[in-house]
A and B are shown apart, each in its own frame.
Chain A
Amino acid sequence: MKGFNFHSVKNVKEAKKLASGKSAFLAGGMTTIPAMKLRLASYSDIIDIKNIKDLSGIKVSSKSLKIGATTKHAEVAASKEVKKAISSLAHLADGIGDPQVRNRGTIGGSIANNDPAADYPAACLALNAIIHTSDRKIVSDKFFKGMFETALKKGELIQAVEFQVPDKSCYVKFPNPASRYAIVGVYVAKYKKEVNVAVTGVESAVFRCKKIESALKSNFSSSAIDGVKISSSGFNSDIHASSDYRAHLIKVLAKKAVAGCK
């Protein structure tokens, strides 16, 4: 790995001041550090944000669940508040990577990285999340731009992710047996007036499957998905799964998610 200057900061102002085109914010480092070790990424400055107090923690209201950017996956998975408000989100956090990754990795890091097969981006899209940053609030539909790309500008720091509490929801993924990343993951969330179906692992970035959404809007049941046709055009295809197989899995997992909604 190439050398860099390590900075530990105490507040957002300090973090922003140090940020440049050649810096990276470090929370859990579960993606940043492997990428640096493989020399896929190198930075002149690493800005450690985990000691910024306000960035960690879970707040629940009747309509929303707000999770601080440096809150670890293990904390979300074990949180009684999260389990009560959106149990599918706690379940999702419990299925990320392995226990050691969950002890370090953070929600802010996961969505800032926007890995095409990451779990949290699917939760953001399905649960109408608002991304609170140091500069503004961004709705999820405008946040995830493409492979490893987000709407974040240089030096813009995610502070919290605010999820809208659904009537019921469920996340089901077909994990890669080695990494536990989603080969395909489908997050279904039902609200009073809408149904959101977010799919991860399939394209260059997470997306909402409008066809399944409209099928479920009129009839919220697994069987409503049977007639939906999913084209595999543009889907990821690799040694783990062909694009056709991924297209097939979307429907299988969406049906499971609808059946598992609570």
Chain B
Amino acid sequence: MQKVSLEINGKKVSREIEDHTLLSTLLRDILSLTGTHIGCDTSQCGACVVHVDGKSVKSCTLFAADIHGSKVTTIEGLANNGKMHPMQEAFKKLHGLQCGFCTPGMVMSAVDLLKNNKKPSDQEIRDWLEGNICRCTGYQNIVAAVKEAASKM
């Protein structure tokens, strides 16, 4: 067993967990933060993307023990006092989702993109979202939503 301490969405969390606990398992099964989705569970689909120390990563391919002491932001941590993050607003406004399964990962990945690239082109958005798969194939509106968010942030 490992004692893992993290700061998740601004709150300090400590848990005794099995050594092989994945970050996605810790978030969903132990902390009930089920906004982070598991799609493929083989690090291809990107539904499980969260931020660890400010960088987007796939939480299904990360041991929780490996990031002891880190700051984690999940989709639940984006809204501020009940007000949606501009990226969430833009996805809602422009129908950047259909079934919504991939959306938490798309949003977390896109937020990371805008940290380093304030005004990405369509191609840059598509390149960045390479690791996020939408099986409804709703990419046009996802790209439009990321551009809309970029103009508001």
Q: Chain A: residues with CB nearer than 8 A to chain B?
A: 1-6, 8, 26, 29-30, 33-34, 36-38, 46, 48, 50, 74, 97-101, 103-104, 178-180
- Spell out B's residues near A (CB within 8 Å): 2, 18-20, 22, 41-44, 46, 49, 55-58, 61-63, 65-66, 68, 109, 112-113, 128, 130-132
8 residue pairs, one from A and one from B, having the closest CB atoms:
A98-B131, A6-B19, A98-B130, A6-B65, A103-B55, A100-B58, A33-B61, A100-B131
Please, which residues of chain A bring their CB within 8 A of the CB of B2?
Answer: 6
Q: Which B residues touch A179, using CB under 8 A?
A: 44
Name the contact of A34 in the complex, choosing from B56, B57, B61, B113 (C-beta under 8 A).
B61
Residue contact B43 to A34, C-beta cutoff 8 Å: yes
A105 to chain B, nearest CB (A): 10
Task: Provide 15 A-B residue pairs closer than 8 Å at the C-beta atoms, listed in order of the A residue.
Answer: A3-B20, A8-B66, A26-B63, A26-B66, A29-B63, A33-B22, A33-B61, A98-B130, A99-B112, A99-B130, A100-B56, A100-B57, A103-B57, A104-B58, A178-B44
Supposing A30-B43, A34-B43 touch, asked if A104 and B20 sit within 8 A by C-beta, the answer is: no
- Collect the chain A residues with CB atoms within 8 Å of residue B56's CB: 99-100, 103
Tell me which residues across on chain A come within 8 A of B41, comparing CB atoms. 37
**Are A5 and B109 within 8 A (Cβ)?**
no
B109 near A99 with CB under 8 A, answer yes
Chain B residues with Cβ below 8 Å from A37 are 41-42
Separation of A26 and B61 alpha carbons in the complex (Å): 12
The answer to whether A34 and B42 touch (CB under 8 A), given A4-B20, A98-B130, A99-B130, is yes
Decide yes or no: A46 and B61 within 8 Å by CB, A34-B42, A98-B131 being known contacts.
Answer: no
The 8 Å CB contact of A38, one of B42, B46, B58, is B42
CB proximity of A233 to chain B, nearest CB, Å: 32
Which chain A residue shows the least CB distance to B63? A6
User: Contact: A29 with B68, CB < 8 Å?
Assistant: no
Given contacts A6-B63, A100-B49, 16 further A-B contacts (CB under 8 A): A2-B20, A4-B19, A5-B19, A8-B66, A8-B68, A29-B63, A30-B61, A33-B43, A48-B66, A98-B132, A100-B57, A100-B58, A100-B131, A101-B43, A104-B58, A104-B62
Inter-chain contacts of A6 with B (CB < 8 A):
2, 19-20, 63, 65-66
| Docked pose: A74 CA to B56 CA in angstroms | 11
Interface-central residue, B41, B63, B132, by most chain A CB under 10 Å: B63
A residues in contact with B61, CB < 8 Å: 29-30, 33-34, 104
A36 contact set on B, CB distance < 8 A? 20
Residue of B2, B18, B46, B55 with most chain A CB atoms under a 10 A cut-off: B55
Cα distance, A103 to B51, chains bound together (Å) = 10
Residues from chain A with a CB closer than 8 A to the CB of B66 are 6, 8, 26, 29, 48, 50
- CA of A97 to CA of B61 in the docked complex: distance in angstroms? 14
Distance between Cα atoms of A104 and B131 in the complex (Å): 13
- Residues of B contacting A34 in the complex (Cβ-Cβ under 8 angstroms): 42-43, 61
Across the interface, do A100 and B68 meet the contact criterion of CB distance under 8 Å? no
